[in-house]
């Protein structure tokens, strides 16, 4: 069943709260100051039973210009707005500002309610209705029902109720796929229960007992209890007003503007990339670095505007912008926002968040503008591809991609399969979960790797390659996980580089020995081959070259780097051919008998116990074999 939130809007003293009381029998003004002054200051909440039997949540907003902040905290999650205009006054300044806000937040359905009809005659009422239709002719309310009512006599209320009920039958379905998200609009304590927060569940499904996190504070807690319209429930759905009892959270630790969602479902950010629609009645052009107030969900955050695709934004124009905030925000791609000028405060624009976790951009960056336009297009496949492309350096899991994509992605598995088939992304298989990178990221790694290796080989012509650790630090940074590094190395080995045990070199690079060095190379290899599995100690062999000892050490180190000679330990080295023979002997012996002892291996390779044990320990270290007591089995 589609759940419904109805909200009010309109100028101060036009009868919004009185109308809600007439419809529901409940007064949404609860503060002493509100009752004394006769005006709404804070948001009011109640519910409404429709003729069809459905129960709708109601949010009543203040109309005074000083409380626009509170109004903005309430209208973001509504489905239908009742724009209330007093019959004796007509359209007023806050009517227009509230209407601008509703349009910026992309509210799609509404009813114009002409209140206080009992205070004017029929002719005046008809004139006001005509003025309203003319005033709203270019807005989302151009075809909206216009219903005169009197909250005093009750006249028109039945018609209004039936119209609301009919309109609720034709609402867009709420997003039940994405993680649950509740922007907090009230915080209070209940004796015996602790801290309770309320808000509109704008996406997903939340259950009693669910683990949750409060953004942007990072407090992790649990849903201790849920109420919907004053009744305890086990589960709540997007589109419902909810009261959530947070376990173990103190009242001072949460506030209006925070968001409750699944742990890790969102990312705090100090920047957002947006499409801005700048109001045609904004008082002046918007310039780079202008300080503004940004309203998102139930939060108000100060920030500065960076215009990405033009010098200034004139009233009535649209632009791509980055907002750099003074406090963190937790947002999703596709969220709506409103901005007001810093001082004096006027609503000047708003629009859609295109990237909730961007990097800092420069003005007129063609690539950035193209990427944002693609995100604005909103095709799920394009969004997922761009998300992976921009976050490949984070090596995202599937869950990370969903989170970074912002809006709920309905079929992430089929999208990933499509991108893999088209070779736009690459899957890295890991036991703890597969990660995904964009093919452009791999191309960039290849380019940087070739540049690094070219420079290294130029400066070190007799070294086989750069150490793996230095390569890792310079290309990926030290924080990359070893398993991901190893997987990326395997991808690069296809056409970019080769590796030895501890070094990396360009795929087409060979150490070029001169005649003297080639002669030393052949002598070293012959000495190890002749000794087979009782090889000479490198130190003694190097000294045997006399005056050529220094050159012999350079050649020997190059052979080790190239994998022509394999290091077993500090004193024992084998040629790659001899190592391969020893390895195959172990595999065949254990394959036939199930296990091997050190003595059996010694006799198998015709060596001494000292060398046999060292070679077996090396096999253990590379996970070829596993020692159990005095025997080895295959790993």
CATH superfamily of 181-261: Translation factors (2.40.30.10)
What residues pair up with 211 in beta bridges, in sequence order? 222
Q: CB-based contacts of 17: which residues, under 8 Å, 6+ apart?
A: 8, 27, 28, 29, 40, 44, 60
Band (63; pLDDT cuts 50, 70, 90): low
165-179, 222-236, 297-311: which range is least confident on average?
Answer: 165-179
Burial label for 110, CB within 10 Å (0-12, 13-18, 19+), is buried
Q: Residues 413-442: pLDDT tens digits?
A: 999 999 999 999 999 999 888 999 999 999
Greater confidence (462 vs 577) lies with 577
Residue 269: phi and psi, rounded to 5, are -145, 150
Q: CB-based contacts of 544: which residues, under 8 Å, 6+ apart?
A: none
Q: Residues 494-531: pLDDT tens digits?
A: 999 999 878 999 999 988 898 999 999 999 999 999 99
- The Cα–Cα gap between 275 and 253 comes to 33
How big, in percent rounded to 5, are the helix, strand and coil portions of the chain?
Answer: 35, 30, 35
Domain ranges of the chain: 5-168, 181-261, 269-370, 378-512, 521-634
56-65, 258-267, 378-387: which range is least confident on average?
Answer: 56-65
Contact 109/80 with Cβ under 8 angstroms? yes
What is the pLDDT averaged over residues 134-143?
Answer: 93
Q: How many residues does the chain have?
A: 635
Contact 306/359 with Cβ under 8 angstroms? no
Quote the pLDDT of residue 474: 94
Q: What is the percentage of the chain residues whose pLDDT exceeds 90?
A: 69
Q: Give the DSSP letter of residue 245.
A: E
CATH superfamily of 269-370: Translation factors (2.40.30.10)
The label of the residue with tokens 């195959």 reads: 584
Q: CB-based contacts of 407: which residues, under 8 Å, 6+ apart?
A: 175, 178, 332, 333, 334, 378, 383
> Residue 603's Cα: distance from chain center in Å?
60
Q: CB-based contacts of 603: which residues, under 8 Å, 6+ apart?
A: none
* pTM for this entry: 0.70
What is 378-512's CATH topology? Arc Repressor Mutant, subunit A (1.10.10)
Residue 73 has pLDDT above 90, yes or no: no
Q: What angle do CA 494, 495, 497 make, to 5 degrees?
A: 90
368-377, 468-477, 518-527, 572-581: which range is least confident on average?
Answer: 368-377
- The Cα–Cα gap between 483 and 297 comes to 40
Run of H or E residues at 197: strand 194-200
Q: Residues 431-487: pLDDT tens digits?
A: 888 999 999 999 999 999 999 999 999 999 888 899 999 999 999 987 899 999 999
Beta strands per DSSP E along 229-297? 231-233, 235-237, 241-246, 259-261, 268-278, 286-287, 291-296
> Terminal CA-to-CA distance of the chain, rounded, Å?
56
SS3 category, 417: helix
**Rounded CA Rg of the chain:** 35
- The Cα–Cα gap between 297 and 459 comes to 57
Contact 64/13 with Cβ under 8 angstroms? no
Quote the pLDDT of residue 529: 94
- The Cα–Cα gap between 507 and 498 comes to 5
SS3 category, 86: strand
Beta strands per DSSP E along 507-564? none
Greater confidence (39 vs 94) lies with 94
Q: Average pLDDT of the chain?
A: 90
What residues pair up with 279 in beta bridges, in sequence order? none
Tell me whether the CATH fold assigned to 181-261 matches the one assigned to 269-370: yes
Q: Residues 5-40: pLDDT tens digits?
A: 999 998 888 888 899 888 988 776 554 554 444 545
What is 521-634's CATH topology? Arc Repressor Mutant, subunit A (1.10.10)
Q: How many angstroms separate the Cα of 613 from the Cα of each of 572, 581, 632?
A: 11, 16, 11
- The Cα–Cα gap between 453 and 507 comes to 10
Residue 42 has pLDDT above 70, yes or no: no
The verdict on domain 5-168 having CATH code 3.40.50.720 is no
Please give the structure tokens belonging to residue 84: 């209330």
Residue 625 has pLDDT above 90, yes or no: yes
What residues pair up with 11 in beta bridges, in sequence order? none
Q: Which of 146, 42, 35, 138 is nearest to 90 (CA)?
A: 146
27-36, 233-242, 274-283, 399-408: which range is least confident on average?
Answer: 27-36
Three-state SS across 92-145?
Answer: CHHHHHHHHHHHHCCCCEEEEEEECHHHCCHHHHHHHHHHHHHHCCCCCCCCCC
- The Cα–Cα gap between 79 and 108 comes to 8
- The Cα–Cα gap between 498 and 332 comes to 42
Residue 236 has pLDDT above 70, yes or no: yes
């Amino acid at each position: 069943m589609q759940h419904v939130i109805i909200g009010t809007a309109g100028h101060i003293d036009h009868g919004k709260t009185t109308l809600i009381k007439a419809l529901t029998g409940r007064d949404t003004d609860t503060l002493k100051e509100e009752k004394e002054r006769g005006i709404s200051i804070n948001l009011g909440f109640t519910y409404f039973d429709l003729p069809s039997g459905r129960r709708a949540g109601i949010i009543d907003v203040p109309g005074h210009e000083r409380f626009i902040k509170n109004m903005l905290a309430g209208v973001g999650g509504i489905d239908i707005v009742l724009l209330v205009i007093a019959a004796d006054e007509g359209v007023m300044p806050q009517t227009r500002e509230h209407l601008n806000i509703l349009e910026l937040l992309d509210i799609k359905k509404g009813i114009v309610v002409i209140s206080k009809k009992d205070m004017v005659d029929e002719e005046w009422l008809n004139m006001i209705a005509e003025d309203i239709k003319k005033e709203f002719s270019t807005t989302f309310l151009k075809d909206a029902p216009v219903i005169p009512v009197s909250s005093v006599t009750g006249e028109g209320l039945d018609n209004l109720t039936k119209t609301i009920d009919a309109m609720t039958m034709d609402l867009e379905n709420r997003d039940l796929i994405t993680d649950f998200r509740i922007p907090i609009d009230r915080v209070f304590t209940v004796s015996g229960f602790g801290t309770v927060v309320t808000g509109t569940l704008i996406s997903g499904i939340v259950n009693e007992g669910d683990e949750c996190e409060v953004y942007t504070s990072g407090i992790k807690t649990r849903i201790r209890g849920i109420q919907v319209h004053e009744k305890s429930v086990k589960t709540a759905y997007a589109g419902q007003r909810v009261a959530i009892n947070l376990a173990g959270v103190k009242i001072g630790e949460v506030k209006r503007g925070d968001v409750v969602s699944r742990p890790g479902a969102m990312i705090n950010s100090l920047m957002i990339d947006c499409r801005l629609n700048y109001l045609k009645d904004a008082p002046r052009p918007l310039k780079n670095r202008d300080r503004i107030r940004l309203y998102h969900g139930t939060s108000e955050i100060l920030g500065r505007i960076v215009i990405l695709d033009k010098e200034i934004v004139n009233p009535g124009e649209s632009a791509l912008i980055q907002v750099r905030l003074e406090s963190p925000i937790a947002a999703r791609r596709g969220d709506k926002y409103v901005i007001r000028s810093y001082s004096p405060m006027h609503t000047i624009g708003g629009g859609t968040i295109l990237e909730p976790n961007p990097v800092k951009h420069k003005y007129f960056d063609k690539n950035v503008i193209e990427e944002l336009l693609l995100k604005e297009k909103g095709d799920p496949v394009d969004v997922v591809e761009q998300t992976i492309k921009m976050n490949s350096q984070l090596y995202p899991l599937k869950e990370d991609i969903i989170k970074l994509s912002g809006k709920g992605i309905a079929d992430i598995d089929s999208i990933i399969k499509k991108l893999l088939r088209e070779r736009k992304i690459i899957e890295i298989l890991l036991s703890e979960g597969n990660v995904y990178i964009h093919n452009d990221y791999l191309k960039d790694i290849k380019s940087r790797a070739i540049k690094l290796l070219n420079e290294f080989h130029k400066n070190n012509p007799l070294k086989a390659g750069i150490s793996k650790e230095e390569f890792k630090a310079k290309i990926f940074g030290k924080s990359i996980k070893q398993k991901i590094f190893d997987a990326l190395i395997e991808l690069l080995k296809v056409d970019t580089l080769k590796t030895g045990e501890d070094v990396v070199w360009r795929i087409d690079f060979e150490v070029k020995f001169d005649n003297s060095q080639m002669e030393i190379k052949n002598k070293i290899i012959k000495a190890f081959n002749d000794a087979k599995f009782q090889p000479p100690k490198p130190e003694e062999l190097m000294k045997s070259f006399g005056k050529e000892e220094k050159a012999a050490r350079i050649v020997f180190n190059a052979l080790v780097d190239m994998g022509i000679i394999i290091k077993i330990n500090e004193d024992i080295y084998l040629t790659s051919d001899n190592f391969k023979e020893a390895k195959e002997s172990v595999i065949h012996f254990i394959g036939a008998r199930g296990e091997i002892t050190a003595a059996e291996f010694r006799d198998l390779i015709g060596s001494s116990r000292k060398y046999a044990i060292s070679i077996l320990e090396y096999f253990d270290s590379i996970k070829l074999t596993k020692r159990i007591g005095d025997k080895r089995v295959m790993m």
